[in-house]
Chains A and B, each alone.
Chain A
Amino acid sequence: MNVSLFVTCLGDQFFADACADAVRLLRHVGAEVSFPLAQTCCGQPAYNSGHRDEALRMMKHTVDVFEDADYVVLPSGSCACMMRTLYPELAGSSPEDDPTAAETMRNATRELAARTYELSQFLATVVGVQHLGNGLDGQRVAYHHGCHALRELGVSSEPVALLRGAGARVMEWSADQECCGFGGTFSAKLPEVSAAMADHKLDTLPEVDVVTSADGGCLLQLSGRALRRSSDVPFRHLASLLWQGVTGTAESEGRT
C-alpha cells in the first residue's frame, strides 16, 4: 500500500514531530510512505477568504503533485476536506477558456478526492485498524472535533475509537463539537470573537491529561489561548497521541 503524505503548511512548520509520528503510524500498519517534496499548500486559506483565482492555482499545483499517488493522507481534517469536498466544487464551477482542460481538471479533482483521507479516517476505514496498542492506558483525553473533519468528512467516531482502542479514556466534553474559533484568517480578522469561542471550549473542558485533535490549526488556537489564560493543560496532535498508543512512550513532548 503506497501512501503519499501531505503534511500541510501548518504541519510542516508547527507539527513536524506529529507528521513524523504520522509516518511511523502509517509504516506500522504496513504502508509504504512517500513524501512528495513539491507539495506546498492546498489553497484553503485563499478559498475561504474569497480569493478564488489563487485557490485555483494552488489546487492545480496540488493536483499535479499528487497525480500518481495511490492514497493521499493528511494529518489534518480541514485540508483533507479542501481536497475531498471543495476541489471538485472549485473545479466544477470555474469554466476555463479551454473546455477540454476544464473537464480534465474536474475529473482529476474527483479522482484525487476519492483517494484522499484524513489520517484517522484512513487508518480506520482503508486500513481497517481497530487497535493500535495500549500505550494510552488510563490517560484522560479530551478530543476536539475539527469542524471540517466532523461535518464535511463525517469523521467523528474514527479518531475517538482509535484513542479508546489504545486505552485512553476519552472524556465527556459538552463543547467537543463546537468550533474552537480558528477558522483560518477569521482568527486574525476578528480576534476578539475568535478568542471568546476558544474560551467557551476551555471553560467547558473537563479535567484531562491531554487535549487532542486531528487539526493543527485548532490546536494552535486552543493552546495559544490556553497559554494566554495561563492554563497548563497540554495539547498534542492526534498523530502523536496515536503513535504513543503504539509505543507506550511519547516520541515527542506535548506542545504547550
Chain B
Amino acid sequence: MSAREQILASIRAARERRAQVDHPGRFGAWRPEPAPSPLHGFETMFTQAGGEVVHVSSSAQRDTWLREFLSGFDELSLGVGVPAEVAGLGPTPVPHGSEHTAPAGVAVARAAVAETGSLMMDARDGRRAQLLPPILVVLVDATTVHATLADALGAVRADLPAAIGLHSGPSKSADIGQVMVKGVHGPGRVIAVVAQAGLGAYRHASERPSERE
C-alpha cells in the first residue's frame, strides 16, 4: 500500500468512531471595541507594528513625496505594478533579478487590512521586489483597505497568484537574547503611501470593498 493509501485508510477507519463536528462558519471579528474606519484602523495597527504611513491626496503630492524620499538613493527596485510615472522619479531602476542590489524599493499593495494592519502583496508585483530591499515604499489605494482579514481573503480568493504575502510592519526578531531588532531579513523600514482613490495603477480595482458591497 502506498503512503497515501495507508494514511487515508487509517484516518477512515478511526473516523468511524468520531462524532462529526460541523464547521462553525465564518470567522467574525468578535472584539469588545467597535472597529474604527478601515483606513484609520489600518494606520493604527500598521504603525503600532513599526510601519510608517504617509497620506497623499493628489498624484502631484504623491510624486513630490516620492521624489524627495527617493533622492537619497542611487538605485531602486520596482514592483511590476508601480506606475510608469513613479518609475521615472529619480533613482535608476535595477532590472528584475537584481533587486538585492537596490538600497530601496517601491512596490504596490493589492489591498490592505485594517484588522491586522497588513499590506497584501501579490506575487504578480514581483516577490523579490517586495522582500529584498532594506527599505520598502508600498503604494496603497485607500479604497482597497478591507475592514477584516476574512473580508480581504474573501475578496481575492477568486484570483489567487502563486503567492500572497501579508506584510504587517518591518522585519523583526527577538531571537538574540530577547532583544527586539529590526530588519533581519525582510525590509527593516516599510512606508505605506496611502493614496486617495484612483491615483495608483492598481490592477485589482474590482476587489475594492466599496464596489463589492
- A–B touch (CB < 8 A): the answer is no
| Residues of B in contact with A (beta carbons under 8 Å apart) | none
